[in-house]
Amino acid sequence: MAQTEVPVSKSLLVPIDDIAEGVRGLRIGFVNVFGVTRSDGSWTLIDAGVPFSAGLIRSWVDKHFSSAPSAIVLTHGHFDHVSAASELGDHWDVPIYAHPLEEPYLTGQKEYPPPNAGAGGGLMTLMSPILPRGPVDLSKRLRLIDASDNASLAEMPGWKIVQTPGHTPGHISFFRPSDKTLLVGDAFCTTKPESFFDAAIAQPPELHGPPAYFTSDWSAALQSIRKLAALHPLILAPGHGKPLAGREVEAKLATFAKVFARDAENDAKPKAH
Ligand SMILES: [Zn+2]
Ligand SMILES: [Zn+2]
């Protein structure tokens, strides 16, 4: 089917192995998807890529996993995280989970606000008015997660759902206390988000705010970054950029939260750092 055709160069496909116990990822162009495997071998796909990436994700799954996932879980509903969800959900016949506040954007009822084309500069910002914002309709398979604090998902034992609104109203991250691994979605990035295409080539991971052109509530985004910093993670796996691990992660994130807060005070719409 046309949906599985590949406009993304194969050179932009980068497997990200061994992020943490049972966590591996795939970078497709400028965005990552992750697979989180349980001890019994069943697993969950976190996020579902840009348009036309279903075939790429399926090939990666066939190579690295012994079965289909038991669910697809979305950190939020932006096009670069959900575009293959419908096709993959149908192919594997699995539910697609998201936060209730993302539901209107995932059921064709509502579109995200127009991107802020002036934010941050760079190619992605220039492109942002033409990037698809929806509507996406996953209603057939969509299941809403429990939106209370410290909720978890039966398919992801050992992981806590962390509500991290700001980038979008129902943005969520995932934290595994046993090894302090944090899947951050777009709550923040480890690459300069307004120049993903340059950054995808070669750049050491460093912390940056959420993609500015799409972030709707900066004070909530700041609170969410503080909330994630307070978890003292040791391993970070972001939606954009490379994973980061080690003892310095905790301090880096704490410093970043302060810098982000200072920028937010000086400018209602913080630029990338
Ligand atoms: Zn996003
Ligand atoms: Zn994104």
Q: What is the pLDDT of residue 43?
A: 98
Q: What is the pLDDT of residue 199?
A: 47
For residues 188 and 255, is the Cβ–Cβ distance under 8 A? no
- Report d(CA 223, CA 75) in Å as an integer: 17
- Report d(CA 259, CA 273) in Å as an integer: 8
Compute the distance from residue 223 Cα to the ligand 2 centre, in Å. 19
Taking only the tens place, the pLDDT of each residue in 54-63 is 999 999 999 9
Residue type (1 letter), 2: A
For residues 83 and 49, is the Cβ–Cβ distance under 8 A? yes
Closest CA to 82 of 66, 102, 67: 102
Compute the distance from residue 40 Cα to the ligand 1 centre, in Å. 31
Q: What is the pLDDT of residue 148?
A: 86
Compute the distance from residue 250 Cα to the ligand 1 centre, in Å. 23
Q: What is the pLDDT of residue 111?
A: 86
Ligand sitting nearest the alpha carbon of 213: 1
Choices 3.90.1170.50, 3.60.15.10, 2.40.37.10, 1.10.10.60: CATH for 2-266? 3.60.15.10
Ligand sitting nearest the alpha carbon of 167: 1
Give me the residues of the chain with pLDDT under 50, please: 1-6, 199, 270-273
Taking only the tens place, the pLDDT of each residue in 89-133 is 999 999 999 999 999 999 999 988 876 655 555 555 555 655 665
The CA-based angle 237-150-253, given to 5 degrees, is 35
Please give the model's pTM, rounded to 2 decimal places: 0.89
Compute the distance from residue 42 Cα to the ligand 1 centre, in Å. 27
Q: Where are the domains of the chain?
A: 2-266
Compute the distance from residue 238 Cα to the ligand 2 centre, in Å. 9
Compute the distance from residue 185 Cα to the ligand 2 centre, in Å. 7
Q: What is the pLDDT of residue 194?
A: 62
Q: What is the pLDDT of residue 226?
A: 96
Ligand sitting nearest the alpha carbon of 115: 1
Closest CA to 173 of 131, 219, 235: 235
Compute the distance from residue 268 Cα to the ligand 1 centre, in Å. 19
List the 172-176 sheet strands across, edge first: 160-163, 172-176, 181-185, 235-238, 244-245
Compute the distance from residue 207 Cα to the ligand 1 centre, in Å. 16
Compute the distance from residue 72 Cα to the ligand 2 centre, in Å. 16
Q: What is the pLDDT of residue 203?
A: 62
